[in-house]
């Protein structure tokens, strides 16, 4: 146990100690590699930052967290210098905590709900979380003990964070768990397209190694079809959890969209987001391809969109040696759906932003290669008055301009896929839209013993929602399989 610093014992630490961000590598250094941008707090800083929490009786941070993480409990232990205990509480209540801390948009969730907002800066919850988990992992304090086997098996289909969370929870209860996926490495499409400057592959590989020690089996590189049919999975396992990443990228219906050089964001990230070899695509439907060499070295790149995927593409293109990178977004900066600190990092790294503009045509050369993106200026219209809804926009006639570009990346978001086209899901009840499976409060589908979550039930969304579904399904599976036990047991 580390003794509290004088500043950390003050009743008014929340006011006297400024919120500190994580140490950050200079832009001129990080733009040359794919290493993570941020470092970690040291013990003194973590303790002082945790002391800023006032332990309010109705913690908004817990309500703001999709996982209902008991944040005040491990924050209090951290403020007291009881780091090992804090990490134990955190790790037992937050699956994949070291990964969630890196990718969670806490500015819009737990930290936005902190009671200190409006009086001071919120408690740096995510940074403290990352410090605790990395410290515990480095010291070998993360529990991977395998409990006595329960004699029942569960098949998990997919390996996105929600699938991994479900598998980890079930293995910790004593189930024999096998994760099936068609990717060549665990992590799903999210990690296959996650630039390493946000999450180094070694972080995921470390978590998968811990899961293997706990007894989880990974069967990767499997094809969707007879080899991985739902009927076969049900015959081989006592329960099944489905976590396929069934989403499709939005397209742009404007002249020139089929030119060589116009590519989807996922295609670009699969090819260039890290120094590791590109994994095979595991989506049940192919990602639309632009049919061109997407190497941005020496080229002018225009990214269309304002979410985290757009920012990932822009920062990746810059690291791959693009001559110039421009992000075009149809609304104003304050309305960008990307995480604020990711936008700030992109600006520091020299990414140019053009706001209140929308693409209306892709212009090509005689070889049918992209040469420029024609855009129109946009104007926001008055808000509808509904809370949380972004303002609509209108395109201004005759207010056009062109951006020279050899590559245009479409980062326009995702839509759910029609599930009827996926044989693995045959026989499961779907919603009226045909794009989501019907599940109950425990994530169980219309077939007893078959559970589902993530994109299959909630549509494209935050990683944390997939983790939430995976944990909820693990509890549901445990209850379902427990109900099958003989009454004498």
Nearest Cα residue to 43 out of 86, 103, 106, 12: 86
Mean pLDDT, rounded, for 8-25: 89
Asked if residue 281 has pLDDT above 60, the reply is no
Asked if residue 287 has pLDDT above 50, the reply is no
Structure tokens, 266: 């996922």
Phi, psi of 288 (to 5 degrees): -55, 135
Q: Residue 123 gets which letter from DSSP?
A: P
Asked if residue 353 has pLDDT above 70, the reply is yes
> How far is residue 444's CA from residue 131's CA, in Å, rounded to a whole number?
35
Query: Are 83 and 481 within 8 A, CB to CB?
Result: no
- Is 220 part of a structural domain of the chain? yes
- Is 488 part of a structural domain of the chain? no
Q: What is the pLDDT of residues 452-461, one digit of tens each?
A: 999 999 989 8
- Is 143 part of a structural domain of the chain? no
224 and 328 both lie in a single domain: no
> In sequence order, which residues have a C-beta less than 8 Å from that of residue 426 and are 6 or more positions away?
230
> How far is residue 312's CA from residue 329's CA, in Å, rounded to a whole number?
14
Last residue of a domain, one of 138, 162, 189: 138
Strand-strand pairing, 247-249 and 262-264:
unpaired
If pLDDT is split at 50, 70 and 90, which confidence band does 443 have? very high
If pLDDT is split at 50, 70 and 90, which confidence band does 6 have? low
Asked if residue 129 has pLDDT above 80, the reply is yes
CATH number of the domain that residue 18 is part of: 1.10.1060.10
Query: Are 188 and 158 within 8 A, CB to CB?
Result: yes
Mean pLDDT, rounded, for 444-472: 95
259 and 242 both lie in a single domain: no
Q: Is 326 helix (H, G, I), strand (E, B) or coil?
A: strand
Tell me, what's the pLDDT at 397?
A: 83
How many structural domains compose the chain? 3
474 and 354 both lie in a single domain: no
If pLDDT is split at 50, 70 and 90, which confidence band does 293 have? confident
**Dihedral angle sign, alpha carbons of residues 219, 222, 224, 225:** negative
CATH number of the domain that residue 446 is part of: 3.50.50.60
Tell me, what's the pLDDT at 430?
A: 96
> How far is residue 370's CA from residue 372's CA, in Å, rounded to a whole number?
6
- Is 144 part of a structural domain of the chain? no
Tell me, what's the pLDDT at 270?
A: 92
> How far is residue 221's CA from residue 368's CA, in Å, rounded to a whole number?
36
If pLDDT is split at 50, 70 and 90, which confidence band does 386 have? low
Tell me, what's the pLDDT at 449?
A: 97
The most confident of the ranges 5-14, 279-288, 324-333 is: 324-333
Last residue of a domain, one of 138, 172, 197: 138
264 and 396 both lie in a single domain: yes
Query: What per-residue string of b and e applies to 383-397 under the rule 16 or more CB within 10 Å gives b?
Result: eeeeeeeeeebeeee
If pLDDT is split at 50, 70 and 90, which confidence band does 488 have? very low
- Residue 130 to residues 102, 283, 320: CA-CA distances in angstroms? 7, 30, 28
If pLDDT is split at 50, 70 and 90, which confidence band does 7 have? low
Q: Is 176 helix (H, G, I), strand (E, B) or coil?
A: strand
114 and 170 both lie in a single domain: no
Asked if residue 226 has pLDDT above 50, the reply is yes
Tell me, what's the pLDDT at 388?
A: 62
Nearest Cα residue to 314 out of 371, 404, 374, 305: 305
Structure tokens, 21: 């961000």
273 and 305 both lie in a single domain: yes
345 and 201 both lie in a single domain: no
If pLDDT is split at 50, 70 and 90, which confidence band does 146 have? confident
Structure tokens, 225: 């079809």
H-state helical runs in 391-444: none
Least confident range of 20-29, 365-374, 459-468: 459-468
SS3 content of the chain, % helix, strand, coil (to 5): 35, 20, 45
Q: What is the pLDDT of residues 62-99, one digit of tens each?
A: 999 999 999 999 999 999 999 999 999 998 888 899 99
Q: Residue 226 gets which letter from DSSP?
A: G
Query: Are 248 and 460 within 8 A, CB to CB?
Result: no
- Is 368 part of a structural domain of the chain? yes
- Is 147 part of a structural domain of the chain? no
92 and 176 both lie in a single domain: no
- Is 349 part of a structural domain of the chain? yes
409 and 275 both lie in a single domain: yes
Tell me, what's the pLDDT at 290?
A: 43
Provide the whole-model pTM.
Answer: 0.91
- Structural domain including 446 reads 153-246+417-483
272 and 380 both lie in a single domain: yes
Query: Are 146 and 240 within 8 A, CB to CB?
Result: no
381 and 393 both lie in a single domain: yes
Last residue of a domain, one of 138, 171, 200: 138
261 and 406 both lie in a single domain: yes
Q: Is 295 helix (H, G, I), strand (E, B) or coil?
A: coil
């Amino acid at each position: 146990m580390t003794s509290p610093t004088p500043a950390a014992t003050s009743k008014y630490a929340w006011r006297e100690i400024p919120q500190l961000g994580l140490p950050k590598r200079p832009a001129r250094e990080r733009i040359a590699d794919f290493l993570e941008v941020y470092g970690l707090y040291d013990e003194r800083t973590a303790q002082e930052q945790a002391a800023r929490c006032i332990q309010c009786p109705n913690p908004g941070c817990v309500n703001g967290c999709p996982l209902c993480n008991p944040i005040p409990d491990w924050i209090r232990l951290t403020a007291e210098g009881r780091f090992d205990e804090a990490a134990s509480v955190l790790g037992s209540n937050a699956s994949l905590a070291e990964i969630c801390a890196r990718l969670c948009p806490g500015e819009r969730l737990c930290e936005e709900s902190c009671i200190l907002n409006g009086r001071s800066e919120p408690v740096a919850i995510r940074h403290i979380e990352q410090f605790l988990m990395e410290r515990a992992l480095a010291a070998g304090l993360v529990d991977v003990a395998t409990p006595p086997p329960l004699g029942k098996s569960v098949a998990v289909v997919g390996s996105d964070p929600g699938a991994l969370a479900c598998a980890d929870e079930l293995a910790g209860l004593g189930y024999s768990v096998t994760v099936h996926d068609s990717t060549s490495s665990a992590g799903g499409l999210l990690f296959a397209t996650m630039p390493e400057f946000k999450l180094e592959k070694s972080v995921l590989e470390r978590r998968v190694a811990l899961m293997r020690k706990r007894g989880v089996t990974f069967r990767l590189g499997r094809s969707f079809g007879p080899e991985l049919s739902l009927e076969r999975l049900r015959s081989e396992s006592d329960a099944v959890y489905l976590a396929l990443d069934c989403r499709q990228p939005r397209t742009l219906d404007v002249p020139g969209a089929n030119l060589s050089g116009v590519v989807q964001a996922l295609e670009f990230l699969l090819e260039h987001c890290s120094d590791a070899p590109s994994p095979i695509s595991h989506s049940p439907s192919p990602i639309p391809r632009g049919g061109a060499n997407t190497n941005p070295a020496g080229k002018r790149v225009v990214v269309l969109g304002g979410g985290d995927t757009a920012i990932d593409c822009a920062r990746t293109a810059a690291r791959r040696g693009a001559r110039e990178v421009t992000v075009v977004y149809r609304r104003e900066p304050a309305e960008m759906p990307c995480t604020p600190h990711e936008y700030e990092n992109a600006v520091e790294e020299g990414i140019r932003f053009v706001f209140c503009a929308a693409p209306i045509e892709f212009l090509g050369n005689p070889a049918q290669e992209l040469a420029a993106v024609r855009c129109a200026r946009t104007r926001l219209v008055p808000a509808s008055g509904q809370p949380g809804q972004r303002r609509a926009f209108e395109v201004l006639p005759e207010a056009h301009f062109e951006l020279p570009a050899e590559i245009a990346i479409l980062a326009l978001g995702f839509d759910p896929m029609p599930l009827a086209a996926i044989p693995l899901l045959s026989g499961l009840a779907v919603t009226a839209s045909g794009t989501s499976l019907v599940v109950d409060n425990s994530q169980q589908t219309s077939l007893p013993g078959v559970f589902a979550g993530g994109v299959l039930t909630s549509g494209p969304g935050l990683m944390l929602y997939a983790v939430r579904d995976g944990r909820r399904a693990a509890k549901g599976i445990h209850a379902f399989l427990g109900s099958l036990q003989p009454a004498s047991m």
